[in-house]
């Protein structure tokens, strides 16, 4: 089984999540997260990274300092579903959390209202993949759509997700960060 060590390092041009003002708030949450709470465990190891939005990406963002988000994710032996491969629920959970955090960075705190996952290939245990996210504009109903893909270093797309998120009012207990 491959140990993650340096494979969780973000690509060039990306910074650790806590280097961003809202990302620092989100990074504190991630330490308690079902998905990203165990950086040395045998289930999932997740490192989030941010970069400034490109001009084409930022036209719809509403946050004060919007940013793009990606995650480097290692699937360990305790994430097993089918023999030797990651459980689909662990893959869906990573997609859900990555999309949700991306919405927080582009707009404000949000919770998932609808989530879809398409599994393309099983992820072998011990693999490190990248979760790439995109976020759409806020819709009139106070919702935002997001997509994410789990992609191997060789370009294999393991899973794709899409979701609708309900944006939370800033007075909500865990809405600290965002616009």
Active-site residues, by number, are 96
State the greatest distance between any 2 C-alpha atoms of the chain, in Å, as a whole number.
Answer: 47
Nearest to 103 by CA among 24, 172, 52, 179: 179
CA distances (Å), origin 51, targets 19, 131, 168, 173: 10, 14, 24, 27
88 CB burial (10 A radius; 0-12, 13-18, 19+): middle
Instruction: Provide the 3-class DSSP secondary structure of residue 92.
Output: helix
Token representation of residue 52:
């400034």
CA distances (Å), origin 176, targets 104, 109, 125: 10, 7, 35
């Amino acid at each position: 089984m491959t140990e993650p060590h340096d494979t969780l390092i973000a690509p060039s041009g990306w910074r650790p999540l806590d280097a961003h003002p809202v990302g620092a708030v989100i990074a504190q949450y991630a330490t308690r997260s079902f998905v990203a709470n165990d950086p040395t465990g045998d289930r999932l190891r997740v490192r989030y990274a941010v970069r400034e939005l490109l001009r084409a990406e930022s036209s719809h963002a509403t946050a004060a300092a919007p940013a793009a988000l990606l995650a480097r994710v290692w699937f360990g032996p305790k994430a097993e579903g089918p023999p030797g491969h990651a459980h689909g629920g662990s893959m869906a959970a990573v997609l859900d959390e990555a999309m949700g955090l991306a919405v927080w960075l582009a707009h404000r705190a949000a919770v998932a209202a609808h989530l879809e996952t398409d599994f393309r290939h099983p992820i072998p245990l011990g693999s490190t993949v990248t979760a790439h996210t995109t976020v759409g504009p806020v819709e009139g109903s106070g919702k935002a759509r997001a997509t994410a893909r789990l992609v191997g270093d060789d370009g294999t797309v393991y899973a794709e997700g899409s979701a609708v998120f309900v944006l939370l009012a800033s007075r909500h207990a865990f809405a600290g960060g965002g616009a």
